[in-house]
Amino acid sequence: MSEIETPRPPVKWRKLALQLTSGLIVGGLVGYGVGYLAGGYFEARGLEDVPLSVEIAGLVAVVYLLMAGVVLAGSLSPSFGARILNVEDADEVRELQAQFVNSGIAMLLWGFALLGLALAAPIGPLTAPLALTICAGGLLGGVWFAWKAYRAADELMLAMNLEAGAITYGLVLLVLGGWGMLAHLGYVSAPLPIDILTACYVLVIVAAYIAIGRRGLLKVR
């Protein structure tokens, strides 16, 4: 008795190439621009060695801003979003537009929050009160828009959000908890406050990719 095999959908190589190429170009240009401006600023202030924690925080913030820009651009123009976002077509972008917009704004605010912290004095140009205002406002505003995106999600997205939250909790306990344990025992240096916040930003993205990948949604659609 022969088994009937379901044909696999063809890989959309053109869309994949467009996503990778545009991501590399935009990311490279933004990274170069940010590095050039930051290098000029620090050189003007006579700062040769910028703390690694600040550099990593700034880089993660820029990644959040880039992702937010892509999501918002794609959601505001469904035809464009169908080419750069991992969706079936423009109709799916229209169906998920509210969720995309709120999620994009949340990531944008969170990116500015971390960037404001990285640019705080004495390393950066922002005074402590101004940096606190930007960071606190960005974090709280991001939570508000993330909640709006959560309420606009369908059953599949709700399930992925809950799973991503559970994975994030485990990763935070493993990474930050393990780091704190080793630091307490004197094996490594204790994390700086900005390290803790940056790690949370990174682990949230890692958890989201794990939750999405478990459902096979990382394949180009």
- pLDDT tens for 101-137 read 999 999 999 999 999 999 998 888 889 999 999 999 9
Q: Which pLDDT value is given to residue 37?
A: 61
pLDDT at residue 89 above 70? Answer: yes
Q: Which pLDDT value is given to residue 179?
A: 96
User: Among candidates 133, 115, 135, 136, which has minimal Cα distance to 124?
Assistant: 115
C-alpha triplet 122, 200, 129: angle, nearest 5°: 30
pLDDT at residue 178 above 80? Answer: yes
CA distance 115 to 138: 10
pLDDT at residue 145 above 90? Answer: yes
Q: Which residues contact 168 (CB under 8 A, 6 or more apart)?
A: 203, 204, 207
Contact between 158 and 96 under an 8 Å Cβ cutoff? The reply is no
Average pLDDT over residues 194-202: 95
Q: Which pLDDT value is given to residue 1?
A: 47
* pLDDT confidence bin for 47, thresholds 50/70/90: low
User: Among candidates 121, 128, 134, which has minimal Cα distance to 47?
Assistant: 121
3-state secondary structure (DSSP) of residue 186: coil
Structure tokens at 49: 């060695």
Structure tokens at 108: 């944008």
Contact between 62 and 31 under an 8 Å Cβ cutoff? The reply is yes
Higher pLDDT, 69 or 13: 69
CA distance 193 to 198: 9
Does residue 129 have a cis bond before it (omega within 30 degrees)? no
Q: What is the dihedral of CA 137, 143, 149, 153, to 10 degrees?
A: 180
Higher pLDDT, 22 or 92: 92
Structure tokens at 18: 């467009």
User: Count of alpha carbons within 13 Å of 63, Cβ hemisphere only?
Assistant: 11
| pTM exceeds 0.85, yes or no | no
To the nearest whole percent, how much of the chain has pLDDT over 70?
Answer: 76
User: Among candidates 186, 149, 15, which has minimal Cα distance to 86?
Assistant: 15
To the nearest whole percent, how much of the chain has pLDDT over 90?
Answer: 46
pLDDT at residue 7 above 60? Answer: no
CA distance 36 to 42: 10
22-36, 69-83, 141-155, 177-191: range with highest mean pLDDT: 177-191
User: Count of alpha carbons within 13 Å of 3, Cβ hemisphere only?
Assistant: 3
